[in-house]
Chains A and B, each alone.
Chain A
Amino acid sequence: MVDLFGNLSLGLGVALTAYNVLFCFLGVLLGTLIGVLPGVGPVATIAMLLPITISFPPATAMIMLAGIYYGAQYGGSTTAILMNMPGEPSSSVTAIDGYKMARKGRAGPALATAALGSFFAGSVATLVIALFAPPLARYALKFGPPEYFALMVLGLICAVALAHGSVIKALSMVVLGLLFGLVGSDLFSGMNRFTFGYRELSDGVNFAAVAVGIFGIAEILRNLESEKTRDVLIRKVTGLMPTREDLKRIIAPVIRGTAIGSLLGVLPGGGAILAAFAAYAIEKKISRHPEEFGEGAIEGVAAPESANNAGAQTSFIPLLTLGVPANPVMAVMMGAMILQGIIPGPAVITRNPELFWGVIASMWVGNVMLVILNLPLIGLWVRLLTIPYYVLFPAIIAFAAIGSYSISSNAFDLYALALFGGLGYLLVRLGCEPAPFLLGFVLGPQMEEHLRRALIISRGDLSVFLTRPLSATLLAAAAIVLLIVFVPQIARKRDTVFQDELT
């Protein structure tokens, strides 16, 4: 316990320097902005800003990028409540009851509930990370190459299981991502692989170009298919504060949502979204007035909003302790750490304590800022909602282009951006989700390295993965997950969950 407070105060010391507070603020501001604006998500934004953050100290870079992520969760719920258009997928549940509340003239309390719930969840999740990450990291230090390989297999399989649509396609995307991840010089032999003699490719395909292309450019192309004007229901939000009755109703859902979110956020493959759905379903089940759900129940805003914010924050745990990203945003964060020269994994906590604890403490600082940004300034965000898309996307293109270029001042990266933008769009049109691809892409080189090392140690004997208990357990878990998604009945249930999400 003494340790915990010592560590947290070390973190606060880092997070509360004027410089870091400024960049934390910029991060959450930008996050809220992209959460509110259509057509640009946190993955593309963080990837575009990677190059800028290279010149920052590592802790500052991570603090700002993390702020963008959880800030986007806040902004996403604003559009969900006011326009029935979730800015982020994890806010789609909030739209169900939040929008109904807004139509009944209770947009203010809905927004306040979302913000207060998120703040509570964010604060608790920060403590959860501080409590559970260090022991997990200590445990992970004992992992050998077979365990890491098995862990990555499990992570990728979970990402496949939680991707939308066809499992086979998601699997194919993982494998394709792994293959593209191998482009560049081979660590063991130094040979260039799949580079066609281009020197520019010997460090691998530029990570930012791949992420921005496949998540940013492809998304713009999709949005251009059907340009819609966005209708804002409420132009002026009045009566922000929830009533005493409201507050009484949201306390328990917020606590339950936070617990569910903190737990599910750790799972690989999009914990925040899953957590929001689970929290909503549970509230509906145990509520004394289930008929109110879907008609503007305040619990239906409080629980999923707390859950997705808690989940967004605890999804940092696997990255910071195991070096395995839980979702595409974490994959980009992993890219950011690698660019900074920090290899994500259990060693981060001991080798870079100021980075680890600084980022964690900054989450709490950022959550305080978000409440201030989102409640009194809500009118400003509402005005931004009406910006038409055709004004926005040229700006996104300009930033994407300059961002990708500035990583290594290399025109080649712009061609990669166009290529992966086009490829990403084509694949999305064919029903293939980009998230598993990106996870495969970041994990490719490490997976190969661990596989090689494991087999060198075992003298080529593949059974090493099954004779070591932990690696066997992880692989068994992966097999079970894979089995579950292929079993027809459960597969059908999974379809309905995701279909609900679409409607």
Chain B
Amino acid sequence: MRDGGNTVPLSHEASVSSSRSTLNNALHRHDLMAGLLFIAFAVFFVLQTFGLSGLGALFSEGFSGLIDEAELPIGTARRMGPGFFPLWLSGLLSVLGLVLVARGLRAAPETTIPQMPWRGAAFILGSTIFFGATVRGLGLVPATAIAVLIAAFASERMRPGLAVILAVVLTLFVLAVFHYGLGLPLRVYGPWFDFVLGEG
């Protein structure tokens, strides 16, 4: 493959790596991991297409059973079933994944684990999951305030005081825009507070 080897797809990679050879190795390791990820997705979609029924038939009736008994019928080119296009796409994706893996394996097997900003990822993704899990129960105001507080600490520069100010200001803004302005059908304080505030 001609492409990829000497490209610099991302600016941060360029700044992380000082020498040309480490950069190339880093890119090839990325190829390997990206390839494996794509293959994993392809396998996932293929397994979902065939389902338990298809895989069971694979053992009893062989390959034709796999096609005939697939959970999402494959069909023929003339009458495509819901499994036809996904199956072909998965095939294409796994071929592309294999090419990437091959390219990654050709590179020197130097392994340094790339630094993942776990802190940022944990706080940011945690914040959205928290919001999803509690927005109905807690209501718009508490869920937004706490989600902002969680998200704020993804940055190493955040100070507690500033985070509280941000949470208050943003919550008020959200309340004004989404509740009063746009009439989002969502309680300001959710049912979890009924017990505290009394039935209302």
Which residues of A are interface residues toward B (Cβ below 8 A)? Answer: 52, 55, 164-169, 171-172, 175-176, 178-179, 182, 186, 188-189, 191, 193-194, 217, 220-222, 224-227, 388-391, 393-395, 397-402, 405-406, 409, 411-415, 417-418, 421-422, 425-433, 447-448, 451-452, 455-456, 459-460, 462, 485-488, 491-492, 495, 498-499, 502
On whether the beta carbons of B166 and A405 are closer than 8 Å, the reply is no
Q: B31 — which chain A residues lie within 8 A by C-beta?
A: 166, 169, 431
Closest to A489 in B: B2
Q: A175 — which chain B residues lie within 8 A by C-beta?
A: 89, 92-93, 96
Known: A166-B3, A168-B96. A414 touches B132 (CB 8 A): yes
* Any A CB within 8 A of the CB of B18: no
Q: A55 — which chain B residues lie within 8 A by C-beta?
A: 182
Which residues of B are interface residues toward A (Cβ below 8 A)? Answer: 1-4, 6-15, 27, 30-31, 33-34, 37-38, 41, 45, 48, 72-73, 76-83, 85-86, 89-90, 92-93, 96-97, 99-100, 103, 114, 116-117, 120-121, 124-125, 127-129, 131-133, 135-136, 140, 144, 147-148, 151-152, 154-158, 162-163, 166-167, 170, 174, 178, 182, 184-186
On whether the beta carbons of B96 and A499 are closer than 8 Å, the reply is no
On whether the beta carbons of A451 and B85 are closer than 8 Å, the reply is yes
On whether the beta carbons of B97 and A172 are closer than 8 Å, the reply is yes
A397 CA / B86 CA spacing, docked (Å): 33
Known: A411-B135, A499-B8. A394 touches B93 (CB 8 A): no
Closest to A391 in B: B166
Q: List 11 A-B contacts (CB under 8 A).
A: A165-B4, A172-B34, A176-B93, A194-B48, A221-B120, A225-B12, A418-B125, A427-B37, A459-B78, A491-B2, A502-B11
**What DSSP secondary structure best describes chain A's contact surface?**
helix
Name A166's contact: one of B9, B45, B73, B86 (CB within 8 Å): B9
Q: B103 — which chain A residues lie within 8 A by C-beta?
A: 168
A459 CA / B76 CA spacing, docked (Å): 10
Which of A171, A412, A433 has the most CB atoms of chain B within a 10 A radius of its CB? A171
Closest to B48 in A: A194
Name B117's contact: one of A224, A402, A412, A432 (CB within 8 Å): A224
A409 CA / B183 CA spacing, docked (Å): 13
On whether the beta carbons of A495 and B129 are closer than 8 Å, the reply is no
On whether the beta carbons of B132 and A431 are closer than 8 Å, the reply is no
Q: A391 — which chain B residues lie within 8 A by C-beta?
A: 162, 166
A390 CA / B117 CA spacing, docked (Å): 15
Name B10's contact: one of A395, A401, A428 (CB within 8 Å): A428
A200 CA / B140 CA spacing, docked (Å): 21
On whether the beta carbons of A448 and B77 are closer than 8 Å, the reply is no
On whether the beta carbons of B33 and A430 are closer than 8 Å, the reply is yes
On whether the beta carbons of B89 and A429 are closer than 8 Å, the reply is no
On whether the beta carbons of A398 and B151 are closer than 8 Å, the reply is yes
On whether the beta carbons of B158 and A427 are closer than 8 Å, the reply is no
On whether the beta carbons of A414 and B129 are closer than 8 Å, the reply is yes
Closest to A189 in B: B82
A395 CA / B155 CA spacing, docked (Å): 13
A31 CA / B161 CA spacing, docked (Å): 30
A391 CA / B163 CA spacing, docked (Å): 8
On whether the beta carbons of B3 and A502 are closer than 8 Å, the reply is no
A447 CA / B45 CA spacing, docked (Å): 18
On whether the beta carbons of B14 and A502 are closer than 8 Å, the reply is yes
Name B3's contact: one of A167, A421, A425 (CB within 8 Å): A167
Q: B12 — which chain A residues lie within 8 A by C-beta?
A: 222, 225-226
A413 CA / B132 CA spacing, docked (Å): 8
Closest to A400 in B: B128
Name A431's contact: one of B34, B45, B79, B151 (CB within 8 Å): B34
Within the complex, the shortest CB–CB distance from B79 to chain A, in Å, comes to: 7
Within the complex, the shortest CB–CB distance from A399 to chain B, in Å, comes to: 8
Q: B93 — which chain A residues lie within 8 A by C-beta?
A: 172, 175-176, 179
On whether the beta carbons of B120 and A224 are closer than 8 Å, the reply is yes
Name A179's contact: one of B7, B45, B178 (CB within 8 Å): B45
Known: A191-B72, A227-B157. A394 touches B148 (CB 8 A): yes
